[in-house]
């Protein structure tokens, strides 16, 4: 007698039954590596975004310094001019200014201008009309992913952004 067994009476396939749960175990082994790679990509992406944002802010600050804007008197004291330029950088940095621990270097016609914080501003800090002004900011951004930190000094992404412009005849 040659009878066909209905689907409900068939014997289950033994090899398929032995494979149960292997995809869960494979995912459990691969998931940490996948999540780590995603975190590293995210961390480096944020660091590059911070770099570009600060570059934009420095460019805006340098533009503000060299144009002799109507709300920034060209004959104003160096302290007032310096603070106005810093405020422009802060306003353009999307709130990142205080997070990157900035330090400044201002160069006019190849000569570094000296200042040591509040109350110590050199004369002609941003130069005269026609002078080349370079505004450079050195920044530090802390990385979050522990596996990326050893590749950077002290676990921080150190970068420098600068803008070079010629003073307008104000």
Q: What is the pLDDT along the chain (170 residues), one digit of tens a residue?
A: 555 656 566 655 555 566 778 889 999 999 999 998 998 899 999 999 999 999 999 999 988 888 866 555 555 566 777 888 888 999 999 999 999 988 888 888 777 765 544 444 555 567 777 888 889 999 999 998 888 888 888 889 999 999 999 888 66
Whether 33 is in a domain gets the answer yes
Is residue 77 domain-resident?
yes
Q: Which of 29, 39, 21 is nearest to 146 (CA)?
A: 39
Predicted pLDDT at 90: 93
- State the pLDDT at residue 54: 96
Residue 78 structure tokens: 């160096």
105 touches 149 (CB < 8 A): no
Which of 137, 101, 109, 138 minimizes the C-alpha distance to 125?
109
3 in a structural domain: no
Domain that residue 123 falls in: 23-166
Rounded Cα gap, residues 74 and 63, in angstroms: 13
Q: Characterise 107 by phi-psi region: left (phi > 0), alpha (psi -120 to 50), beta (else).
A: beta
pLDDT of residue 51: 96
d(Cα 141, Cα 46) in Å, to the nearest integer?
Answer: 10
- Asked whether residue 11 is domain-assigned, the answer is no
Residue 73 lies in a domain: yes
In a domain? residue 12:
no
Within 13 Å of residue 167, how many CA atoms lie on the same side as its CB? 20
Total domains in the fold of the chain: 1
**Rounded distance between C-alpha atoms, residue 166 and residue 75, angstroms:** 17
- Residue 35 included in any domain: yes
Neighbours of 91 (CB within 10 A): 14
CA nearest neighbour of 126 among 111, 146, 141: 111
pLDDT for 70 equals 52
With H, G, I as helix, E, B as strand and everything else as coil, classify residue 145: coil
Backbone angles phi, psi at 84, to 5 degrees: -65, -40
| Cβ(127)–Cβ(166) below 8 Å | no
């Amino acid at each position: 007698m040659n009878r066909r067994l209905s689907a409900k009476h068939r014997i289950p396939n033994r090899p398929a039954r032995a494979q149960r749960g292997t995809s869960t175990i494979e995912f459990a082994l691969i998931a940490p590596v996948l999540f780590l790679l995603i975190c590293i990509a995210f961390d480096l992406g944020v660091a590059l975004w911070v770099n570009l944002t600060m570059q934009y802010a420095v460019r805006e600050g340098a533009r503000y310094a060299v144009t002799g804007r109507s709300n920034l008197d060209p004959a104003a004291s160096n302290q007032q001019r310096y603070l106005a330029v810093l405020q422009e950088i802060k306003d353009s940095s999307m709130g990142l200014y205080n997070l990157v621990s900035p330090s400044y270097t201002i160069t006019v016609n190849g000569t570094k201008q000296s200042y040591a914080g509040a109350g110590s501003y050199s004369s002609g800090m941003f130069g005269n009309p026609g002078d080349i002004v370079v505004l450079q900011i050195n920044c530090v951004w802390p990385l979050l992913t522990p596996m990326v930190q050893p590749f950077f000094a002290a676990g921080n992404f150190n970068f420098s952004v600068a803008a070079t412009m010629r003073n307008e005849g104000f």
